[in-house]
């Protein structure tokens, strides 16, 4: 997943009853996955586990319900119960067997607000098949049902799922832990005017009866099972890649993502074979709460990436990098999330460097580092100052609390610092072997540290403070510093304006927005002082059209500055933006600035805008903004 802003550190008063899985994890951390458990899952996967799941799904847009049968093929076992995770689902019946199904008893345990409930099914020793008949409900958090007006075409409804971190259990009863990898297949029925796509092998065209069959033959964690249904068409970009989008967007997509095939080659050059055969994108409507989601074979991407100038392509590099870090080698629990994201941000930057040069890669890294410093400050003031450690302790908390710049950017700087010390050649060899030797496995932080020591540090006689990086808060002193001349120049220009100089003088007299990349404008805007008079901000805006025409990455920083400066001129643009965009990273910080503002009426404006905007937001964004506004 890419670009998730610091979530509000939710105070969740939960009384979680002790489950067999909870008891097992008292002695974390342990090196072997078998001995570690995932406190966010009720499942007894260490006793009996799903090896393959077949889904029969009927997607009903009128009722906004998916009617499903989850057919679990189980590992051989002698236990008498199989425990699955579920949340907000109606279970109709459960049967055992393949061709001759017999109904069996089950119980649904107490509901926890984060984890949902354990679904305990009575089985016989040797039971191979468990079939759960169910339907989704209004409480199903993974599903975003969009009415036609929230799509680009405005004619057809749309549906997509978001499984990470623990939302898959809200649309499929499943052992919802990354520790268990499964293969899956599905038969999906949708209205004939729409196409269904999954994180699997996908159709290129609509089926006249609206029936689709899917196979995912590589074993994946449950959070990567994904479905999207809408009026979409496929645009091929190269032999193994292409883009699904609403027809209205396909032309823009083929321009924006033309570099996809080259990007795959570049990634393979660095860390070896791409193992998922196909790399397609699907461009979702604006309500999608993330920049991208690395569902295997079919990355879900936010339409805000269509910047018109290919300047936000790093998100695609990020999702592609997940084909190695995250999808191939997966964090064993959500406490180890940095193993997914830190490695991915590092790899993303390496792809960017090879595609667009060192300068662009550095510009990206510097902007990320600025975000990291802000996040660390926020975390320091929060209820959980320990959250700036790489290895987290999220038991009894929402795993989304760990989706901060720490996992992403501190994780990446840990690897960059290591690379600097070890040298790139050795470091690349190490990482390539790491991906190969752990392919299609899950891994804990402790196992990674052990691997790092035996394969890299000890043989090369390197003394490195890995424990400080991983188990201590903040940024260690040996963190490498990255500089960018181009960003420094933009910041110097902003400082001159802050000091009272005229805005568009000398070399900046005829500057246009297209003359600089997105990150340069971000550096410029971030350096401008909120003490600047409104007239100066409006002069900048009227020339550069930041409120009106800039891409969301720039707009977001620009609106925050104007809120902090008390400039209400931009409000109509900001309101339209907050209603259109549902990507949490871009909107949360604006709402936060409005809530923190001392200016009369700002908080009321935030609440009124949210009321208008919320039906276009996914559950993930909606619940985060509700927390901000509380
Ligand atoms: Zn990611």
Distance 71 CA to ligand 1 centre (A): 30
Q: What is the CATH number of the domain that holds 444?
A: 1.10.390.10
Write down the pTM of the prediction: 0.92
Cα separation of 380 and 406, whole Å? 12
Distance 344 CA to ligand 1 centre (A): 6
Note whether residue 380 is domain-resident: yes
Distance 34 CA to ligand 1 centre (A): 26
Distance 79 CA to ligand 1 centre (A): 37
Note whether residue 124 is domain-resident: no
- Exposure on the CB side of residue 264, measured as CA atoms within 13 A: 21
Distance 414 CA to ligand 1 centre (A): 16
Same domain, yes or no: 444 and 493: no
Note whether residue 489 is domain-resident: yes
Cα separation of 536 and 527, whole Å? 14
Distance 406 CA to ligand 1 centre (A): 12
Residue 69's contacts (CB-CB under 8 Å, 6 or more residues apart) are: 55, 56, 131, 132, 133, 134
Same domain, yes or no: 353 and 448: yes
Same domain, yes or no: 530 and 416: no
Distance 333 CA to ligand 1 centre (A): 15
Q: With a cut of 60, say whether residue 584 has pLDDT above it.
A: yes
Instruction: Give the model's pLDDT for residue 607.
Output: 98
Distance 167 CA to ligand 1 centre (A): 16
For residues 206 and 287, the model is more confident at 206
List, for residues 263-316, the tens digit of each pLDDT value: 999 999 999 999 999 999 999 999 999 999 999 999 999 999 998 888 889 999
Q: With a cut of 60, say whether residue 25 has pLDDT above it.
A: no
Side by side, which strands form the sheet with 50-60?
102-103, 89-96, 129-136, 65-74, 50-60, 181-189, 211-221
Domain final residue, candidates 471, 498, 514: 471
Q: What is the DSSP string of 309-372?
A: SSTTTHHHHHHHHTTTBTTTEEESSGGGHHHHHHHHHHHHHHHHHHHH-HHHHHHHHHHHHHHH
Tokens 């590589």 belong to residue: 218
Distance 412 CA to ligand 1 centre (A): 11
List, for residues 164-196, the tens digit of each pLDDT value: 999 999 999 999 999 999 999 999 999 999 999
Confidence of residue 6 (pLDDT cuts 50, 70, 90): very low
Q: With a cut of 80, say whether residue 10 has pLDDT above it.
A: no
Same domain, yes or no: 436 and 508: no
Residue 332's contacts (CB-CB under 8 Å, 6 or more residues apart) are: 33, 36, 38, 178, 179, 442, 443, 444, 447
Distance 585 CA to ligand 1 centre (A): 13
- Region 377-395: mean pLDDT is 96
Distance 408 CA to ligand 1 centre (A): 7
For residue 184, what are the β-bridge partners? 53, 216
Same domain, yes or no: 338 and 447: yes
Cα separation of 348 and 356, whole Å? 12
Distance 52 CA to ligand 1 centre (A): 25
Tokens of 388: 């700036």
Distance 64 CA to ligand 1 centre (A): 29
Same domain, yes or no: 346 and 452: yes
Note whether residue 24 is domain-resident: no
Note whether residue 387 is domain-resident: yes
Same domain, yes or no: 340 and 462: yes
- Region 142-151: mean pLDDT is 93
CB 224 within 8 A of CB 298: no
Among the listed residues 297, 391, 335, the one whose alpha carbon sits nearest the alpha carbon of residue 166:
335
Residue 99's contacts (CB-CB under 8 Å, 6 or more residues apart) are: none
Distance 565 CA to ligand 1 centre (A): 33
Note whether residue 557 is domain-resident: yes
Same domain, yes or no: 490 and 617: yes
List, for residues 241-277, the tens digit of each pLDDT value: 999 999 999 999 989 999 999 999 999 999 999 999 9
Distance 298 CA to ligand 1 centre (A): 14
Distance 320 CA to ligand 1 centre (A): 9
Same domain, yes or no: 504 and 571: yes
Tokens of 98: 């393949």
Cα separation of 29 and 336, whole Å? 11
Note whether residue 335 is domain-resident: yes
> What number of residues does the chain have?
630
Distance 411 CA to ligand 1 centre (A): 12
Same domain, yes or no: 573 and 624: yes
Distance 1 CA to ligand 1 centre (A): 3
Instruction: Give the model's pLDDT for residue 307.
Output: 84
Cα separation of 228 and 316, whole Å? 18
List, for residues 437-447, the tens digit of each pLDDT value: 999 999 999 99
Residue 512's contacts (CB-CB under 8 Å, 6 or more residues apart) are: 544
Q: Residue 423's CB: how many other CB atoms inside 10 A?
A: 11
Distance 118 CA to ligand 1 centre (A): 28
Distance 3 CA to ligand 1 centre (A): 7
- Region 340-352: mean pLDDT is 98
Q: What is the largest CA-CA distance in the chain?
A: 82
Q: What percent of the chain has pLDDT over 70?
A: 95
Domain final residue, candidates 437, 471, 505: 471
For residue 243, what are the β-bridge partners? 235, 281
Confidence of residue 14 (pLDDT cuts 50, 70, 90): very low
Confidence of residue 620 (pLDDT cuts 50, 70, 90): confident
Domain final residue, candidates 428, 448, 471: 471
Note whether residue 385 is domain-resident: yes
Among the listed residues 135, 5, 131, 62, the one whose alpha carbon sits nearest the alpha carbon of residue 400:
5
Q: With a cut of 90, say whether residue 31 has pLDDT above it.
A: no
Distance 246 CA to ligand 1 centre (A): 24
Tokens of 509: 């007299």
Structural domain count, the chain: 2
Distance 305 CA to ligand 1 centre (A): 15
Instruction: Give the model's pLDDT for residue 308.
Output: 82
Q: With a cut of 80, say whether residue 567 has pLDDT above it.
A: yes
Q: With a cut of 90, say whether residue 349 has pLDDT above it.
A: yes
Among the listed residues 308, 310, 320, the one whose alpha carbon sits nearest the alpha carbon of residue 263:
320
Q: What is the overall mean pLDDT for the chain?
A: 93
Distance 572 CA to ligand 1 centre (A): 32
Distance 340 CA to ligand 1 centre (A): 7
Instruction: Give the model's pLDDT for residue 602.
Output: 97
Distance 319 CA to ligand 1 centre (A): 6
Distance 343 CA to ligand 1 centre (A): 9
Instruction: Give the model's pLDDT for residue 3.
Output: 55
Q: What percent of the chain has pLDDT over 90?
A: 91
Distance 513 CA to ligand 1 centre (A): 29
- Region 146-150: mean pLDDT is 92
Q: What is the CATH number of the domain that holds 617?
A: 1.25.40.320
Side by side, which strands form the sheet with 233-236?
233-236, 241-245, 279-283, 298-301, 292-293
Calculate the alpha carbon distances from 530 to 297, 369, 536, 537, 540 in Å: 44, 21, 11, 9, 14
Give how far the C-alpha of residue 56 lies from the chain's centroid of Cα atoms, to the nearest Å: 27
Tokens of 527: 């350096």
Same domain, yes or no: 448 and 577: no
Distance 98 CA to ligand 1 centre (A): 38
Q: With a cut of 90, say whether residue 15 has pLDDT above it.
A: no
List, for residues 470-505, the tens digit of each pLDDT value: 999 999 999 999 999 999 999 999 999 999 999 999
Distance 177 CA to ligand 1 centre (A): 18
Instruction: Give the model's pLDDT for residue 280.
Output: 98
- Region 570-579: mean pLDDT is 97
Distance 594 CA to ligand 1 centre (A): 28
CB 347 within 8 A of CB 361: no
Distance 53 CA to ligand 1 centre (A): 25
Distance 601 CA to ligand 1 centre (A): 36
Same domain, yes or no: 501 and 599: yes
Distance 24 CA to ligand 1 centre (A): 29
Distance 439 CA to ligand 1 centre (A): 18
Confidence of residue 35 (pLDDT cuts 50, 70, 90): low
- Region 398-420: mean pLDDT is 96
Instruction: Give the model's pLDDT for residue 619.
Output: 87
Instruction: Give the model's pLDDT for residue 36.
Output: 82
Tokens 């971030």 belong to residue: 526
Give residue 397's domain range: 329-471
Instruction: Give 321: exposed, middle or buried? Use CB within 10 Å, 0-12, 13-18, 19+.
Output: buried
Q: With a cut of 90, say whether residue 27 has pLDDT above it.
A: no
């Amino acid at each position: 997943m890419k670009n998730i802003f610091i979530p509000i550190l939710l105070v969740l008063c939960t009384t979680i009853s002790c489950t067999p899985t909870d008891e097992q994890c008292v002695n974390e951390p342990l090196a072997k996955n078998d001995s570690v458990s995932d406190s966010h899952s009720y499942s007894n996967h260490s006793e009996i586990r799903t090896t393959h799941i077949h889904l029969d799904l009927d997607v009903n847009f009128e009722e906004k319900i998916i009617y499903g049968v989850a057919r679990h093929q189980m590992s051989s076992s002698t236990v008498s119960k199989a425990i699955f995770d579920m949340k907000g689902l109606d279970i109709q019946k459960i049967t055992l067997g393949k061709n001759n199904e017999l109904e069996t008893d089950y119980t649904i345990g107490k509901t926890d607000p984060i984890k949902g409930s354990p679904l305990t099914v009575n089985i016989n020793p040797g039971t191979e098949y468990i079939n759960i008949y169910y339907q989704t409900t209004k409480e199903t958090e993974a599903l975003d049902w969009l009415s036609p007006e929230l799509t680009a075409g405005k004619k057809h409804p749309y549906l997509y799922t978001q499984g990470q971190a623990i939302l898959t259990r809200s649309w499929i009863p499943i052992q919802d832990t990354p520790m268990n990898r499964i293969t899956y297949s599905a038969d999906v029925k949708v209205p004939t005017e729409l196409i269904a796509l999954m994180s699997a092998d996908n159709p290129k065209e609509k089926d006249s009866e609206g029936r689709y069959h899917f196979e995912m033959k590589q074993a994946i964690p449950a959070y990567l099972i994904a479905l999207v249904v809408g009026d979409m068409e496929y645009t091929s970009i190269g032999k193994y890649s292409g883009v699904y989008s609403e027809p209205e967007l396909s032309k823009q997509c083929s321009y924006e993502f033309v570099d996809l095939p080259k990007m795959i080659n570049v990634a393979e050059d660095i860390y070896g074979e791409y193992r998922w055969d196909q790399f397609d994108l699907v461009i979702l409507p604006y309500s999608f709460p993330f920049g991208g989601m690395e569902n295997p074979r079919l990355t879900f991407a936010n339409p805000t990436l269509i910047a018109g100038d290919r300047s936000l392509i790093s998100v695609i590099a990020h999702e592609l990098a997940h084909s190695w870090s995250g999808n191939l080698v997966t964090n064993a629990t959500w406490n180890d999330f940095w193993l997914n994201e830190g490695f991915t941000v590092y790899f993303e930057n390496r792809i960017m460097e090879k595609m667009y040069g060192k300068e662009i890669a550095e510009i990206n890294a510097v902007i990320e580092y600025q975000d990291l410093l802000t996040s660390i400050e926020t975390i320091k003031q929060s209820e959980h100052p320990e959250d700036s450690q790489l290895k987290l302790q999220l038991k009894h908390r929402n795993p989304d609390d760990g989706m901060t710049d720490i996992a992403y950017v501190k994780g990446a700087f840990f690897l960059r610092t290591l690379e600097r010390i070890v040298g790139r050649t050795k470091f690349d060899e190490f990482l390539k072997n790491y991906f190969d030797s752990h392919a299609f496995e899950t891994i804990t932080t402790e196992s990674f540290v052990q691997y790092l020591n035996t394969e890299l540090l000890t043989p090369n006689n390197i003394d490195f403070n890995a424990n400080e990086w991983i188990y201590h808060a903040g940024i260690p002193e040996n963190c490498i510093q990255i500089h960018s001349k181009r960003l420094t120049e933009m910041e110097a220009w902003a400082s001159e304006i802050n000091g009272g100089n005229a805005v568009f003088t000398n070399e900046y007299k005829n500057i246009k927005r297209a003359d600089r990349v997105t990150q340069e404008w971000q550096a410029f805007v971030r350096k401008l002082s909120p003490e600047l008079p409104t007239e100066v901000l409006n002069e900048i805006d009227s020339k550069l059209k930041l409120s009106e025409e800039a891409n969301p990455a720039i707009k977001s920083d620009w609106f925050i500055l104007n809120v902090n400066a008390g400039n209400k001129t931009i409000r109509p643009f900001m309101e339209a933006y907050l209603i259109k965009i549902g990507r949490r990273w871009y909107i949360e910080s604006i709402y936060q600035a409005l809530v923190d503002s001392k200016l009369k009426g700002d908080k009321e404006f935030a609440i009124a805008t949210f009321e208008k905007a919320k039906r276009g937001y996914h559950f993930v964004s909606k619940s985060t903004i509700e927390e901000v506004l509380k």
